[in-house]
A = this chain, B = another copy of it.
């Protein structure tokens, strides 16, 4: 058994609307926006009117989309479980794994940590 929580929401936007989109969603969610510490393509919206951890990602020339992350205390076990349910493994990054759902939507599995993960996570497996 391991634990999961789907909590992070990412708004993926083309580079040419990144600035406008960051300003819009920061104001829309009454959040505080800041560049992410490690990955410069990410912009984090903190303390917004939502239970989600929200970020915007600059995805260059790809079309805009929304994706979410499933956090887990055992990323490999969770990836295996989701592939067993019908997801397709797309690519592995150092801190997350990209999967595709049966309808073709991308989503990620990433480490679950912190108080909100501990409080909200559910056992699966």
* Beta-carbon contact of B49 and A6 below 8 Å: yes
Q: Please name 10 further chain A to chain B contacts, defined as beta carbons within 8 Å, in addition to the given A4-B29, A20-B102, A24-B87, sorted by A numbering.
A: A5-B50, A6-B29, A9-B68, A13-B105, A20-B103, A21-B101, A21-B102, A28-B85, A65-B65, A66-B68
Task: Report the minimum CB–CB distance from A111 to chain B (whole Å).
Answer: 15
CA distance A48 to B68 in the complex (A): 14
User: Within the oligomer, what is the number of copies of this chain?
Assistant: 2
Contact residues on A (Cβ < 8 Å of other chain), bracket? 35 or more
Instruction: List which A3-28 residues lie within 8 A (CB) of chain B.
Output: 4-7, 9, 11, 13-14, 17, 20-21, 23-25, 27-28
Residues of B within 8 A of A75 (CB): none
Instruction: List which A70-125 residues lie within 8 A (CB) of chain B.
Output: 70, 82, 85-87, 101-105, 120-124
Smallest CB gap from A101: residue in B: B24
Smallest CB gap from A11: residue in B: B105
